[in-house]
Structure 1
Amino acid sequence: MDGDNEFNDSNTRRRICTACERPSTVCLCDSIPPEPLSTTTQIVILQHPHEQRHRLATVPVLNKCLRNCQTIIGRRLRRGDSVLLDSLHDAASEQNTNRSPRVAFLFPGTDPTLSVEINDWKSSVVDSDVNEFFLIAFDGTWKHAKEMVSASFPFLSTFATQVCLTYDVRVDGATKFGSDLTLRKEPFGGCMSTMEAVARCLRILEPKGLEIESRLVDVIRSMVKIQASFLKPTNRRPKLLRKSKDDEKKINSRSFCT
């Protein structure tokens, strides 16, 4: 990316960068790698149609950063959606095996399905010659992602293993006020943006995973920093503040009486 990018948009009043395709006020050209990063891992992302229109979506940026990344817009994966996925499905069928040791789809384990931590999954690959993996991810709200996984499971379960990163449903998710990598409130601990989740997986799957993860995380951090500059400072509502003072008076009164 260079500093001479043009900005135009014939449909809206906002000026759009023709390079990163983001509004000029949130242009990421200084952070996105000049050339897409090459990976041995091939990535397929199913993006919910609603997420496609979300201004904080990270998948369009991820596609600018990675060479071997393709996005499918829809609510489920099935035969005919992707030549790559169809070939993986057919290969598993021809070998009379339920799953390929190289293909995984990323989603936390929820009833009735269970997921394998991605480190454990990679370690379980017996064939030392396997150095090319296929990672499938889902992009949408937590509710939409669960629906997409459930709808796609009959197809994916025939050739892919469900994997996850470390998570904890008992812990509150990060917020945009408490993390320099969070653009939206996450539902529970371990949840993150699609771009960050892919970055964490590539650290494990790629020979130069640490370097790739670092480059992608730097872009996310820039996105969050730019977005934070538009956030208005939050103040406690007067009614809540008044209630807190009343509670404090009651506590002091009780202390005095005792």
Structure 2
Amino acid sequence: MMSDFMHDDNQFNHPNARRRICNVCERPATVCLCDSIPAEPFSTSTQIIILQHPHERRHPLATVPVLNKCLRSCQTLIGRRLRRGGSALLDSLHDAATEENPKQCLHVAFLFPGTDLTPSMEINQWKSSFGDDDSNKFVLIAFDGTWKHAKEMVCSSFPFLSKFATQVCLNYDVNVDGGTIYNSELILRKEPFGGCMSTMEAVARCLRVLEPNGVDIESKLISVLRTMVSFQASFLKPLKPRPKLLKTRKDDEKKIS
């Protein structure tokens, strides 16, 4: 797909000129994703709602804007918590669940690792708890932000979400350090523990489970993400260890030898 760039004719002559931005993918020309993003967004029976922290809106590594261009049934809300008035769909689900005889026709899950106080169900297990007739009736809610922000967003949204949504998770391991872009091709930023991933990858993994053609959708989304990460990796330099950490590492090596 060809991309159309917004630029100033004198951009190369002006030292403070802004970078050319693609009108289609809305990314800088040097990392344009138009050749990877589908010409027509993928249709899914699963409805996806993403609560994006305000600080993430302009982050250069944010994957949500790209995800929105890849999926037709994907809505992004900007804020720090979910509550009544933020989404007509979520309001209707909340109201239906609080009625005396609730008739909820959609199965709703919000994606976040569980704790002792708020345990989560692995998404495959959650999906398997419904019959085949319910296979096209899912709503997936995800939170986009740093790990700290995401936890705050989930906690503040829990009183509202707990009325009608189930907390689900993908496989993760809190005892294993998270990866970085230098040891995994799909990681854009340092993750807090093993199994954590970008919002786009997490949604792709969930759709693999929830959608009838989920394997194909996941593969296509991951392909776009892989291109995005490869662009970013080409502009990054491996971090040098801080002096204190380097000294500690050398001392440990001497002890072992």
Superposition TM-score, scaled by structure 1 size: 0.88
Q: How much does 1:111 deviate?
A: 3.7
Aligned pair count reads 251
Q: Which residue of 1 aligns with 2:44?
A: 39
Q: Distance in 1 between matches of 2:37 and 2:136?
A: 26
Alignment match of 1:154 (pick from 131, 134, 159): 159
Q: How much does 1:92 deviate?
A: 2.0
Q: Which residue of 1 aligns with 2:223?
A: 218
Q: How much does 1:40 deviate?
A: 0.2
Indicate the percent of aligned positions where both proteins have the same amino acid: 73
Equivalent pair of 1:8/1:18 in contact (CA under 8 Å): no
Q: Which residue of 2 aligns with 1:256?
A: none
Q: Distance in 1 between matches of 2:113 and 2:255?
A: 45
> 1:68-124: per-residue Cα shift (whole Å, max 9, x none)?
000000000000000111111122233635987611000000242010000000111
Question: Which residue type is aligned with residue 173 of structure 2?
Answer: D
Q: Structure 1 residues 234-243 or 7-16, which shifts more? A: 234-243
Gaps of 5+ in 2: none
Alignment match of 2:73 (pick from 52, 68, 90): 68
Q: How well do the aligned residues superpose, as a CA RMSD in angstroms? A: 2.5
User: Would you say 1:119 and 2:124 are equivalent positions?
Assistant: yes
The DSSP-based 3-state class of the residue aligned with 1:94 is coil
Q: Which residue of 2 aligns with 1:230?
A: 235
Q: Distance in 2 between matches of 1:116 and 1:98?
A: 22
Q: How much does 1:212 deviate?
A: 0.3
User: Would you say 1:209 and 2:208 are equivalent positions?
Assistant: no
Equivalent pair of 2:121/2:168 in contact (CA under 8 Å): yes
> 1:43-83: per-residue Cα shift (whole Å, max 9, x none)?
00000001112110000000010000000000000000001
Over 3 Å counting, the alpha-carbon distance change for 1:90 and 1:173 in structure 2 is same
Higher-Rg structure is 1
User: Would you say 1:140 and 2:145 are equivalent positions?
Assistant: yes
Over 3 Å counting, the alpha-carbon distance change for 1:220 and 1:250 in structure 2 is closer
Over 3 Å counting, the alpha-carbon distance change for 1:87 and 1:8 in structure 2 is farther
Question: Which residue type is aligned with residue 121 of structure 1?
Answer: W
Over 3 Å counting, the alpha-carbon distance change for 1:12 and 1:121 in structure 2 is farther
The DSSP-based 3-state class of the residue aligned with 2:34 is coil
Gaps of 5+ in 1: 253-258
Question: Which residue type is aligned with residue 226 of structure 2?
Answer: R
Q: How much does 1:229 deviate?
A: 0.5
Q: Distance in 2 between matches of 1:244 and 1:107?
A: 34
Q: Which residue of 2 aligns with 1:108?
A: 113
The DSSP-based 3-state class of the residue aligned with 1:163 is strand
The DSSP-based 3-state class of the residue aligned with 2:6 is coil
Question: Which residue type is aligned with residue 145 of structure 2?
Answer: G
Q: Distance in 2 between matches of 1:106 and 1:71?
A: 15
Q: Distance in 1 between matches of 2:82 and 2:252?
A: 54
Q: Which residue of 2 aligns with 1:54?
A: 59
Q: Which residue of 2 aligns with 1:184?
A: 189
Over 3 Å counting, the alpha-carbon distance change for 1:102 and 1:14 in structure 2 is same
Q: Distance in 2 between matches of 1:96 and 1:74?
A: 31
Q: Distance in 1 between matches of 2:95 and 2:73?
A: 21
Superposition TM-score, scaled by structure 2 size: 0.89
Equivalent pair of 2:135/2:210 in contact (CA under 8 Å): no
Q: Distance in 1 between matches of 2:6 and 2:141?
A: 33
Over 3 Å counting, the alpha-carbon distance change for 1:151 and 1:99 in structure 2 is farther
Equivalent pair of 2:47/2:73 in contact (CA under 8 Å): yes
Q: Which residue of 1 aligns with 2:2?
A: 3
Q: How much does 1:8 deviate?
A: 3.2
Q: Distance in 2 between matches of 1:228 and 1:123?
A: 38
